[in-house]
Amino acid sequence: MLLSRLVKQHSEPTSFARLPRPAQKALIQYVCFEAGGYLENKQISLFLQEMDDSNEEHWDSIIEMVSQVEDRLFHYAEIDALEVCDTIADMKPEFMDEFPSFDGYHQWYVAQGDIPYYPEDNRYPSIAWCSESGILDGWHRFHSYLKSGHSTIPLIA
């Protein structure tokens, strides 16, 4: 099963405007800043050039702008961490070929360093998309949540 299907099994479709704020911010961070989305919208494009992502008022503005143009439905769920790990392992992505277990992979990933700490509240979700790797964006967050012992993993699809 794809990770995105797991998220859909644990949630109902919802509009961008109704997602939790950390999910909105994670999507904007990925779509706007990393993938160059929404740039055809001049208002959003101009705002992004001046946006200070540490300013919550700027976030309020960009979330409102994206809410007005984003018509796709999303799925958001906080899913048991073991279920997420098992689903990724069962997908058998290529990177798992080198490890005897998901835990072996996780330990290797964490040992590479640069894994930030995230608190247990207001967690940005990892973005699960229809791909064989499972997570489109947010691998560091995912491994950080596991390393910190979080019992659930926030995911959006």
Q: What digits encode the pLDDT tens for the residues 4-39? A: 999 999 999 999 999 999 999 999 988 877 777 666
Q: What is the mean pLDDT of residues 64-87?
A: 94
The rounded percent of the chain whose pLDDT value lies above 70 is: 95
pLDDT given for residue 113 in this prediction: 87
- Which of 119, 127, 110, 122 minimizes the C-alpha distance to 150? 119
Q: What is the mean pLDDT of residues 120-137?
A: 85
Look at residue 104 and tell me whether its pLDDT is greater than 90: yes
Highest mean pLDDT among 47-51, 54-58, 81-85, 101-105: 81-85
pLDDT given for residue 75 in this prediction: 97
Rounded-to-integer distance, Cα 152 and Cα 80, Å = 4
Q: What is the mean pLDDT of residues 33-62?
A: 82
pLDDT in tens, 132-149: 768 989 999 999 999 999
- Which of 115, 120, 122 minimizes the C-alpha distance to 141? 115
List of E strands, 4-87? 14-15, 73-74, 76-80
Helix count and strand count (H, E) for the chain:
7, 6
Q: How far is CA 146 from the centre of its chain?
A: 14
pLDDT given for residue 34 in this prediction: 75
pLDDT confidence tier of residue 2, bands split at 50, 70 and 90:
confident
C-alpha distance from residue 65 to each of 28, 39, 85 (Å):
11, 12, 35
pLDDT given for residue 39 in this prediction: 63
